[in-house]
Structure formats: structure tokens, C-alpha cells
Structure 1
Amino acid sequence: MADHHLQPLLHDLVSTVLAPTTALSGTDGQIRAAGVQGLFHADARVLSRAGLEIDGREPEPIGHAVPAPGVSRFVGLARWLGDPGPDPTVRIDRVRVVTPGAMDEEITIASTAAEPVTCTVSITLSCDFAPIEVVKSGGAADPLPPAVSGGELTWQTGGIRVTVAGPGFEADGAGLRRVVTVAPRQRVTLRWGVSVEDPKAAVTAPPGPPEWSRPEIEADDARLVRLIRQSLDDLESLRLTETAAPGDTFLGAGVPWFLTLFGRDSIWAARMLLPLGTELAAGTLRVLARRQGVKVDPGSGEAPGKIMHELRRGEFTVEGNGLRLPAAYYGTIDATPLWISLLHDAWRWGMPQDEVGALLPVLEAALGWLDEYGDADGDGFLEYIDTSSRGLANQGWKDSGDAMRFHDGRQAEPPIALVEVQGYAYEAAVAGAALLEAYGRPGAERWRDYAGRMAERFRERFWVDAGYPALALDRDKRPVDALTSNIGHLLGTGILTPAEELRIAETLRDPAMSGAFGLRTMSTADAAFSPLSYHCGSVWTHDTAIVISGLARSRHGEVPAALAADLAEGVLSAAEAFGYRLPELHAGDDRALMGRPIAYPASCRPQAWSAAAAVALLQAAVGLYPDVPGGRAVVRPLPGAPLGALAVRGLRVAGAPVDVAVDGSGAVRVTGLPSGVSLAQQPGD
């Protein structure tokens, strides 16, 4: 069998991150020269090794924790030192603090031995400046020799400068070294750190605190409280802004592969966080608006009005699969309609009128892209194809090369018209019409007509004989008939009738789709299903959360409510199993197999839309839906309070703190709505 590079595994590594800087280590705190371990800054590995040794031996690990954003603590033992006997008497505490462009460590050696303990502490260091895409493809780079001056080590290449120093340590080409003596029942604390200068990075850290509120939550289900707490910590650690145009914050998609601006991911995360304020949404909208497409460029996928996919330091090249993406890449079919819907939803939640108004020209250009460039063949559906042969073959959220499958396992050929993207386009057209009308701009009727015609075409072409919408239409306009989670994204978009929403809920409720810890990306009855397939059988946290949100918004009958409750239970169980830091995805095995979810070994963690999914779950549970421009708010929690009694203090509507409480019977109380917004009964309630 020919040798080939494998993507490094991630699931058992500890991430210490405060974007754009991330340390990835073993659970013992050691950063080894293997796989994806290292200290990364803005798409470059600036330390490939940082190993702690005591007298040439690694401490024996006994525990670790991630107590705060950018902080990890590792505890080990040096049992060869100190008193003889079964009880260890020399303990090593290693506290790692990552801040943007720096990592500092505090190493405390504590002794309860009867005699003084003398030992040599060494930090073995290396730097290879490997680009993240090289690491991701299983490649490596040769370590570079440092320049040693006094007690410092320095590496430098391509404008990046890395400096390591530690007070009291001696430095040489291998790292730092120091001899210490610890008196009986005393401790000695040593410190060392690394700083990074990187003026060419595409992204940097924003100033100030997080842009969202941190609500106080009381819940019968303590898992929800713990999940929200950890998720908000993780989201805080993923905040970014552009180096060239700082001032607007967005969320980097995930650690380590995607810690940069990603149109789809950053938009979904900001949309899920709207109950905590509109500031993050506003920053995300403006960052993407500044890079909205203005010309047709097949190499980058750019087109007039199009919202970009991802931003990198330079060309992103993955060896072995021909992928070569320019630094600003536009190969996405869904970011543009999602941008429109984010603007609309932020407006409803109370984004300042003048900030919304300033983005209306961008909105009009984005709407124009839907009808002209997003529908290249004029059949009325949004479709994609990579004409460059160097970009992403699939350009929806399921963007792996093998994601588009028929029921019998065959791969669909592009151009591909994805099912959920037609729902996004319908929702965006209706949303765009509402904004244009509210601001007295022309075009509202055009986009309402567009949406109506889209719904008619969709109903005619996408539904298959089995009674659910197809995953997509292929190049020959044949329905790609696999049963997938994509159809759940249609819920709540408005493109479906109530009867059709109920039919989709009934379909997704089948254990073949919902029998794992969340919603499977593909049914177990499809030929391409595999529980460890990236997009054909695994469970994605954000995907499940989007479907829960859609079920909560549509909720026609008992089936959608029951499915939402069941999926929420799966998410909370998965959260508990993963220490409440939800991964990008996990395996789609049945819940009964091991009683807990199995890790997908290369899953990003933390990841923005997985962490933001916790807020989406909270939003579905309390059911607050404001319309600030309309002067009303609807409250409609999941019926029967499936998560138990729940009280949330500190949601944000138009900047005002709002409290919502749901008791065990499902009765709800709302206080603090801003002036001019009154609570309205939901039609039919």
C-alpha cells in the first residue's frame, strides 16, 4: 500500500486558545513534535515543541482542566524525587495562559518531602513555522535553529518573529534550563513565555470585552447551565477582527483548522447569538460587506454581490487533493442568502436603525446575486460548480468531496442545487423584501414574487416518491434521493406548508435519522451511511441545533415538539460526555451502542457554531421572538417544558436586558422588554 499523509487526530488534545493564538497539547500539557500539536498563531505553527522535563524525565500526569478562556492547568508528579513510600511528595503544576500573540507558563514545584529536593528543570523547544494547511494534510516542516542571545531564543521567517525567554533560565539551542532547590514543605515557581510578532496576519484580536451578554440561568436540567457557561467561554476565545480593518468583531470558525473568517460559519454563529445582543451580528455583517464580491473571477469564485467563504494569510494549498484556494475565497453557495437573513434577524432583534440602513446597498447587491449569478443556468434554483478545478467541489455546508450521494451510494455530478439553499434563498428574498419596504426602497414586490415562484418550483422538483425532499438536484436536474439532515434546515424558512413541515418532522423522527446523540447527517438506510463519515452519517452539533430551532419556530402539532425535545436531549447528553465543550461533530452511532457518543477523531474543538448552538437551544426552550421594528414580541417556548423549569436573566432585545422564565408546566413570564415593544399573543395561542 502506498504511503500517504493522514490528517492528524484532535479529539484527545487540549486546546488553550485566545484567538488568533492556540496551543494544542496532550492531556499532560506536553507539546510534542507530532501531529497537530504546537503553538499556532494566525495559520502558522510558531512552536512545534514545548516539552517540560524534570531531571530529564517527563512528569507523570494525573489531571488537567480548562478553567477559563485561554487558560489550562496540568498537574503531574515527579515520583522519583522526594520521600520513599506510596504517597507522592513532589507535585508539578503547570498553568498555561494564552493571549493574542503570546503564551506564558507558570511551573510550580511543590514538595512535602522531609529533605530538600534539587532538580534540573528544562523546557525543550523547537519551531518549524509549518502552515496550518500543511499540518492539516499530515505534513511537517523541518525545525529551524534558533538564534540564542543571553537568556532568549529567537526564530524568524517571512515577517514572523518568535521570541522565548524565562527569568532565571539559561538558554541554548535546545531550549531553557534551570537548577532549582525546593525546601521541605515549600514550593518554587518558575515562569517562561513566548511572544509572536506577525504583522502580515489576516486576523487579529479585537479590543475590549465580548460583544454579547452573559445571562444568568437557573434550570432544572443542570446540563444546560454548564453547557451555556462553557460555550460562552469558548466563544469568547474565538473572537477575531481583521488586521487591515480592525473594529468589527466576528467569530473564527474553529480550532485549529478554521480560526479565521468563514462566511457561513461566522454568520450562523452570530445568528444563533442574537438573543444575547446584536453587536456581534453587526460586526460580522460589516466585515463580510467590506469584502462583498464586485467582479466575476472563476479562480476565486467571486461574483458581484456575493458574500465570501474564507479569508487566509495567503494561498491555502492542501497537498494530495489539488485544493488551492486564494487568500480571499468565495466558493460558497449559501453565505449570501444567510448574510441577508442575518441582517433581517438582527434588525428584528433591535440592531440600530442607522446601522441596518447603512448596509442596505450591500443587501440589494446580495439579492441581485441570488437571481443572476447564483442561478447560472436560469432554472430558478441556486446551484454551484467549481469551474477552477482548484476549489471546493461541494460548496454548501456539507463541503467534503463525497457528501452528495444518491440513496444507492452513487455520487451526484455538479452543478448541484442543494435542498437547504433553496430554503435559504426563499427566506432571504422574503427578509430582503421586508427590509426594502421598511426603509422605503424599491424592489419589495419583486423579491416576494421571487420567493413565491421559488416555493412553487421547489414543490414540483424536489419532493421524491418516498415523501421527503431530495438532498439536491444534480447536473441533469435529477433528485439526489438520499435522506439527509439538510431537509431539516427548511423548517421555519417559510418555503414549506404546515403539512410539509409536519411530514419532514415525521421523517426526521425516524430512528434512522434521530437515533444518535443528535440528528444524523444521513439516514442509516442509505448506502453511503457511515457513522464516522464527515458528512454522510456523523452528527453535527450546529446542524442539530438549526433543526431544533426550525422545529421550535414551525411547531405544527405534537410531532415537531417531540422531535425537538428528543434532539435537545441528545445534544445535552453529548455535551455532558464531551465535558460541555461540544465538538464540531461526533460519530453517528446509535445511542444504545456505548451509552455515550463516540468522538470524530479530527473534529475541531472549540468551534464557533457548535458553541453557539447552546444559545440556540436556550432560545428554542424559552421561545422569545422579538420584532422591535414592529413593536411586538412573541413568546412561545417548547410545549410541555421538555427541559424542565428554566429562568434566564440578561437576554438582550434592542440593548435592553430581558428576563424570561418558563415553569415546569410551560407557562412563561417575560419582563424588561424595551419601551415601544409589547408582548403579543402568538396567533392560535
Structure 2
Amino acid sequence: MRDDTAAPTHGRQPLLNDALVVLTAPTQAWSDAAGDLGGAAIHGIFHGDWRYVHGLALRVAGEPIEATGTARSADRASFHGVARAIDDDTPDPRVLVERRREVAPGALVERVRIADGLAHPVEAEVELAVDASFAELSSVKSGAPRPVALTWRETQTGLEATDGTRTLAIAAPGAELARDGDRVVARWRLHVPAAGAAEAVLELRLADPTTVVGAASAAPLGQLPPSGDAALARWAARALEDLQALLLDAGQGPFAAAGAPWFMTLFGRDTLITARMLLPLSLEVAEGTLRTLAARQGTTTDATTAEQPGKILHEIRQSTFTMPGEGISLPPVYYGTIDATPLWIVLLHEAWQAGLPLDVVQELRPALEAALGWLRDHGSPDGSGFLKYIDETGTGLANQGWKDSGDSIRFADGRIADGPIALCEVQAQACQAAEGGAALLEALGDAAGAQEWRGWAERMRERFRAAFWVERGGERFPAIALDGSGTPVDAKTSNMGQLLGTSLLSAEEEAAVARLLVDERFASGWGLRTMASDEGGYWPLSYHCGSVWPHDTGVVIEGMLRAGLTAEARTLSAQLVRTADAFDGRLPELFAGFGADEAATPVAYPASCRPQAWSAAAVVPVHRALAAR
């Protein structure tokens, strides 16, 4: 018999585009534009992989504040409004409210300041209601949060809730605290003098001994030089502030969390690509990323986690991360990624070129040799020489490149390709890794090893040229992938752009790809579409088949610059600067692929994460492209 009382396993994933976030990794607070939490599914205060608070509402004299404006940075926000319930009857507001929020690792402080512009004092009853709700992040993402039972106790400073592992401490100096179930109301009775002000302060502390990542030490990022472009300068300021707020540490140095709200942790691919883009601004983040991933490099073969010797992981969590609507259940340490291993080698080589000392490379040599060994011994399970993936569990990621949604690898007519899949950009990353690995081995005194890997790269170039290039409709371009039968998957996609500057293609081939990518079917006016608009699978609000991902555009720009294709890089860069300005300097994870001829401003993808580390880091190659002469 069907149980209609059972809680659903999943609902609708929360939308994010209208919410405001304040964060310092691994802690984040999502609210409405006026500062209240609780009115939308995404609202809450999160720490690590858990939500602790779902609601935080301000009332003055029993009424919500009427908002007049918001000022914000990455880790703090000020919400301005008026309190007409205690004002006089004249049209001009004279009692003002400033609500200041600051988020630090494991903490949120809320300050409510009442300013009286009247000729007489006012009495202000200020209430902040906290709705505690401990739920795993994955359940919030699924749209069906599963709160756990809490126990409460009084402390010297206020109240504390716990689920037996995690704790939420609430302190409100000078307030009366009243609890009803899991709701705590802090109430102050403030005397506000004429032409004066009074303040109430609420402090929340979040603690979880099971977190797998923690706050980074200072690790300040460098600054980009002046560009003379006001829009680019605004983007750079916001992006670098966000990146600083996203830095984490798991014991081996700083690295960037992938992004908020769902990916506030270590992601192999995202973290590596972010660190590569940030190399001109921070060797410390590159070294921290390399060491953190090397410390967790695969050592054994385990189909349930996709671990293999030498493989670089995909992500780490506090517990199993489930996506019920997609049938996905990922173990806490998951290795289901085809590209993180070559990207780790590429980052090590580029960091060394940027000044990472050779003695650090020597320390990381065992990890380098293991990663190269994975390319040779495990990356190509069928012996074809192409790096391929397939999920062996049925509950892992069906696609294990950066376009990791289940429907992202499509033929020109829109059909979804069957695995095992060999992605075009992964072969390029492997080729670049082999060349970079050879240079590192040579610097470490291993000439024979260097020769072996240069030969491996050359054979990859030959195989790729024979298997991946397709001709269709009078155009010749690299397929997005080979499917399980070795057939080229012939849709035109942005993946081909990530072949540029990797040594996989000849100069003539790179020029042909770049010309195609600045065609209006790809270049939307806001950035590079993930799929050309004339393909059968194209849809502007598809996650990976028509949307624009700023990091993807940034990676392609970087490749164009390495290949000497400056004009094309500048074309895409100018589009991304225009887009960043439209998003107030905070580029989201992705946005819709509508062209500038279809929409006067870029159209949001409503479930897009932000801030996203690699989207923010794209400002670095864009700055370089626009500074090029």
C-alpha cells in the first residue's frame, strides 16, 4: 500500500538567482534582499555540508522593516530600511534601521542599529527570530530537507542546540531569549534618544567536528594591474574579493572551494582550474591545491569510489552526497573524474614555470610519477590510448568531464551518446600533461622519463587527428567525444575550444577552431555558448548544451592566448566583461545562452551557483587578453 504520509525523497531544487549570499568558507548565509531568511527554499545558514538555521527574521515593533537598499561585499552586508511603526506621521522617514551581517568561519553576527531623527526619543522593541533546522546539504539541494531532532540547553551566554554531533550556540547580549520548539526569539527593548541611536547584537556560532575542510589562513591574493577599463576593474575587485572568501584549507595549504551553496568543498577539477587561472596572483594557492590533492591521491582500485592508483579525486564530503532526482549517490571521497589527474600535472608544471621552487616539485615527484602512471596504466582501460570513463556503479556521475550532467554529450541530431566516453578536451589535457610532465622529469634529472612522455604525447596527437576530426555541412571541426563504439559524437560544442594552446593541434587547426568559436552561433555577445545554436541538442537554458559558463569562456581565452590567437581572445573577453558588469561583478556558475540580439541583458539560469571560484577566476585571462597589444 502506498504511504501518503512518507516524506518525499526529493522535490524541486532551490532556485538561487533572487537570493543574497554572505560567506566566508566554509560558512554561508542565504537570505532575501532585505536580509530575512526563511521565505525561500535556499534560505539558511550553512556550515560545511549542513544547514543549521533556516529562518532569521527581524521585526521592529512587531512589523517587518521596509527595505530601502542593500550594500554588500563577500563576507558582509548592510540592509537599510525604515521602521514606520515607531515613526511620526509625516511623509519623511525619521526612524531608520541598519541591519549589518558579517559571516566568519563558523560564525554569524547580526547587528541591528536604530537611528532616531525625531525631536524626541523612541522606544523600539526589536525581535530577531531564529529558526534552527539541522539538515544535510544534499537534502536541501534535493528540495526535500530532512531536519534532524535537536536537544537544547541553557548556557552562560544564551542557548545551545545540538543533534549529538553539531552545535548551534545563540547569544544575544541584553535580550530576553524565549524558545518555542526549535524557534528562539531574542527580544530587546531599546531606548533610542532623540538624534541618537541604539544597537542590538545577535551572535550565532556553528561547530561540527566532522567537517573535512576548514577555513584558510590569510593567503591574500595578488592584485591585477590597472587596466584602464572601468567595467573590468569593477569585475576584478568583486571577483578577487569572492575568491578570497572561498579559500579553504584541509591541512596542506589554501585552495579554492568550488562555489556556493552546494560546492563549498574540495573539487579536483574546479579547484585545479581555478588555481591555474590564479597563478599570476598566487603561487601559494597553486601549491596548496597541489599538496591537498596529492595527499588524497588514489592508491588502490575500488569501483565503488572510482579510485585507482595515481588518480586525483573528484570531491570530498562529510558523508554520502545524494541527488535523488538524478539517481546519484556519491561516497564521501569520490574519484569519478577523468580530467583531474592530467590537470594536476598541468598545474604542477605551470606553477613551476611561474616560480614554484624545484625542491617543492621534488617533494611532489612521487605524486607526479603516480599521476603519469595513471594516464598510462588506467586512463585508457580498453587500450585505445584515449582517456575514457564510464560509471561502473549506476549511482555515480554518468559523465565525468567538466560537462558532467547526464545529457551533455550529444550528437548533432540531439541523441545522447553511450559510453565509455572519450572527451576531446581530456585528450588535450593528457597531451599537455605528458609534455609538462616530461619537462618536470627532465628538470629533476630523468632524461629517459622525459623522452618517454614526449613520445606518448606525440602518439596522442597522431591518434586524435585520425579519430576525432569530423566534416559536416561544409565545416571541419573536432568532435566533442568518441562514444562507446569509437564513433565521433559530432555536435559542435565549446569543448573544442579547450584544445587550444595544449600542443594537441597544429597552428592551422587551432586557427580554424578559433574562427569557429567567435562565430555568432557560439559567441552569444555575452560569452561562449557550450553548444552552437544550430545543433539539434541546443537549448539556451540547458545546463551544458547551450548555456554560457564564464569559466569555460575563460579557459578558451587562456588557450587562445597561448596559441597566439589574440584577436579572438579579445573578442570573447570583451563579451565577458560586458556580462560581468550586468551581474554586478559576480559572474554566476552559468547563465542562459540567449544572444545579445535576443535579450538586452544576460538571462539568468535560475539554479546557478554563485559566487563560483572558476567563474570569478576567469577575470585573470580576460584581463591578460585585453591588456595584450
Q: TM-score, normalized by length of structure 2?
A: 0.95
Match of 1:586? 591
The one-letter code matched in structure 2 to 1:527 is G
- TM-fit CA distance, 1:219: 2.5
Correspondent of 2:230 among 222, 229, 235: 222
Aligned residue for 1:258? 263
Output the amino acid matched with 1:275.
P
- The residue that corresponds to 2:314 in the other structure is 309
Q: Deviations over 1:235-257 (max 9, x none)?
A: 11001011xxx241111000010
Contact 2:129 2:186 in 1 (8 A): yes
Within a 5 Å distance, the mapping from 1:165-564 to structure 2 comes to 165-173=171-179, 174-207=184-217, 209-215=218-224, 217-242=225-250, 246-441=251-446, 442-466=448-472, 467-555=476-564, 560-564=565-569
The residue that corresponds to 2:17 in the other structure is 11
Is the contact made by 1:516 and 1:539 (CA closer than 8 Å) also made in structure 2?
no
Q: Which residue identity does 2:239 align to in structure 1?
A: S
Cα distance in 2 for partners of 1:143, 1:192 equals: 24
Contact 2:111 2:201 in 1 (8 A): yes
CA contact (8 A) 2:412 2:537 kept: yes
SS of the aligned residue for 1:514 comes to coil
Q: How far has the Cα of 1:112 moved from its partner?
A: 1.1
Structure 1 letter corresponding to 2:247: R
Assess if the C-alpha contact under 8 Å between 1:13 and 1:27 holds in 2: yes
Give CA-to-partner distance per residue, 1:2-41, whole Å, 9 cap, x none: 9961110111111111011101111111111531110000
Structure 2 stretches lacking a partner, 5+ long: none
SS of the residue corresponding to residue 449 of structure 1 reads helix
Does residue 61 (structure 1) correspond to residue 67 (structure 2)? The answer is yes
Shift in Å at residue 204 of structure 1? 0.5
Contact 2:149 2:163 (8 Å CA) reproduced: no
1:115 deviation in Å?
A: 3.0
Counterpart check, 1:29 vs 2:35: yes
In the TM superposition, structure 1's runs of 4+ consecutive aligned residues that sit over 6 Å from their partners are: none
The 3-state SS of whatever aligns with 2:108 is strand
Checking the alignment, whether the CA contact within 8 Å between 1:275 and 1:619 is kept in structure 2 is no
Contact 1:110 1:186 in 2 (8 A): yes
Distance in 2 (alpha carbons) for counterparts of 1:45 and 1:18: 15
Q: How does 1:575-614 map to 2 (within 5 A)?
A: 575-614=580-619
> How much has 1:142 moved relative to structure 2?
4.2
Alignment of 1:557-572 (within 5 A): 560-572=565-577
Residues 5-154 of structure 1: pairs in structure 2 closer than 5 A:
5-32=11-38, 34-67=40-73, 69-142=74-147, 147=152, 149=154, 152-154=158-160
SS of alignment partner, residue 84 of structure 2: coil
CA distance in 1, matches of 2:247, 2:456: 36
- Tell me how far 1:146 sits from its aligned partner: 5.9
Q: CA offsets per residue over residues 329-372 of structure 1, 9 Å max, x none?
A: 00000000000000000000000111111111111110111111
Q: Structure 1's 143 and 359: CA in aligned 2 closer, same or farther, altered over 3 A?
A: closer
Q: Deviations over 1:163-189 (max 9, x none)?
A: 011101111113211222222221111
Cα RMSD (Å) of the superposition? 1.5
* Aligned mates of 2:148, 2:256 — CA distance in 1: 31
* CA distance in structure 1 between the partners assigned to 2:272 and 2:486 by the alignment: 29
Q: Partner of 2:326: helix, strand, or coil?
A: coil
Counterpart of 1:634 in structure 2 is none
TM-superposed CA distance for 1:305, in Å, is 0.6
SS of alignment partner, residue 522 of structure 2: helix
**Does the Cα contact within 8 Å between 1:153 and 1:172 map onto a contact in 2?**
no
Q: Which residue of 2 aligns with 1:650?
A: none
The whole-number CA distance in structure 2 between the counterparts of 1:619 and 1:307 is 29
* TM-aligned CA deviation for residue 202 of structure 1: 0.6
Does structure 2 conserve the Cα–Cα contact (< 8 Å) formed by 1:520 and 1:538? yes
**Distance in 2, Cα, partners of 1:184 & 1:592:** 55
**CA contact under 8 A between 2:150 and 2:163: conserved in structure 1?**
no
Alpha-carbon distance in 2 for matches of 1:50, 1:472: 48
Contact 1:148 1:172 (C-alpha < 8 Å) held by counterparts: no
Contact residue 400 and residue 534 of structure 1 kept, 8 A: yes
1:432-490 C-alpha deviation (Å, 9 max, x unpaired): 01111111124111111111111011001101113000010000111111110000000
Q: Percent identity?
A: 46
The residue that corresponds to 2:620 in the other structure is 615
The answer on whether the counterparts of 2:242 and 2:611 sit within 8 Å (CA) in structure 1 is: yes
Aligned partners of 2:408 and 2:211: how far apart in 1? 32
- Does the CA contact (< 8 Å) of 2:150 and 2:162 recur in 1? no
Q: Please state whether the residue corresponding to 1:188 is helix, strand or coil.
A: strand
Count of aligned pairs between the two proteins: 613
Q: Is the 8 A contact 2:573 2:626 kept in 1?
A: no
Aligned residue among 161, 165, 168 for 2:167: 161
Q: Following the alignment from structure 1 to structure 2, what is the Cα–Cα distance between the partners of residues 618 and 459? A: 33
Does the CA contact (< 8 Å) of 1:81 and 1:89 recur in 2?
Answer: no
Please say if residues 45 and 131 of structure 1, whose CA atoms lie closer than 8 Å, have aligned partners that are also in contact: yes
Change (3 A) 1:364 1:176: same
Amino acid of the structure 2 residue aligned with 1:241: D
Q: In structure 2, what residue type is equivalent to 1:336?
A: T
Secondary structure (helix, strand or coil) at the match of 2:598 reads helix
Q: CA deviation at 1:77?
A: 1.4
Aligned twin of 1:632: none
Distance 1:369-1:142 versus aligned 2 partners, 3 A rule: closer
**Structure 1: 5+ residue stretches without partners:** 623-636, 638-665, 667-685
